[in-house]
Structure 1
């Protein structure tokens, strides 16, 4: 997946969840939302996705109203439809019916063709001890890198 301009990144997602699978989806946007996204005024930090009646939706994704917009600006936290293939939606339904799996956005970006895309991940929540284990592993890797770079001099 070629990423053009990164708009919003959910850094906390990889800390709080085990990422099982990642999907790229388009978004159904209205009016000035695209202009606002191009200005970098969007956030996926608190967002999540769900499947209703065979359609994928993203909720709580904040796209700030466009400053030069008019009365056509829409609600910043409105429910937005995700554009996925039917096969992918059926796969996501089977994942989300399993206990403990959820759909979370990883990043929002504009691809090389100028289209707004979002990466959705099938994720399983980490327990506190899993988070500690991840942090300890990252620290150990950092120390190993640091020591190996010092030995090279």
Structure 2
């Protein structure tokens, strides 16, 4: 019996702004190095991925700008909400990403954050930015598709 690919996956947060502002070319699943109070805050859903991005330094990938709120029941050893977090990727994936990022216009951003078999995972995407006219065109296509669906639904046979 085959298991579903989403079994054991609990989504924490999604970066919806990223899908609007960028063209997504490739996605990678990465682990993330966290402290105990950060995981407890993630279980409560207190995270913001909106302005976060990834940087490759010394052969390691780091996630910057992700805000995880301090844990409510934490003590003086609570974590810094905006600290730099290390992403766990295979070496060949990092080398491939490094080659792509050095091309003009490519960047790495997180798309979503989720628990998979008890571990926190982040989906990282290789993206290029959209221009204003690209965003308008995407909104127009979405509106046209919604209009067609509405008309097909209202048709009586």
TM interval, short-chain normalised: over 0.9
In the alignment, the residues of structure 1 paired with residue 82 and residue 107 of structure 2 have an alpha-carbon distance, to the nearest angstrom, of 20
State whether structure 2 residue 151 is matched by structure 1 residue 147.
yes
Distance apart, 1:30 and its partner CA: 1.4
Residue matched to 2:135: 131
Residue matched to 1:122: 126
In the alignment, the residues of structure 2 paired with residue 6 and residue 43 of structure 1 have an alpha-carbon distance, to the nearest angstrom, of 13
What number of residue pairs does the alignment pair up?
Answer: 152
Aligned Cα root-mean-square deviation (Å): 1.1
Residue matched to 2:60: 55
Deviations 1:41-96 (A, max 9, x none): 11111110010010000001011111111111111000000000001101110110
In the alignment, the residues of structure 2 paired with residue 152 and residue 99 of structure 1 have an alpha-carbon distance, to the nearest angstrom, of 52
Distance apart, 1:40 and its partner CA: 0.7
1:53-132 paired onto structure 2 within 5 Å = 53-111=58-116, 113-132=117-136
Distance apart, 1:150 and its partner CA: 1.1
In the alignment, the residues of structure 2 paired with residue 45 and residue 152 of structure 1 have an alpha-carbon distance, to the nearest angstrom, of 43
State whether structure 2 residue 20 is matched by structure 1 residue 15.
yes
TM-score, reference length from structure 1: 0.96
Stretch moving more, 143-152 or 58-67: 143-152
In the alignment, the residues of structure 2 paired with residue 118 and residue 43 of structure 1 have an alpha-carbon distance, to the nearest angstrom, of 13
Distance apart, 1:144 and its partner CA: 0.7
Q: Which runs of 5+ in 2 are unaligned?
A: none
TM-score, reference length from structure 2: 0.93
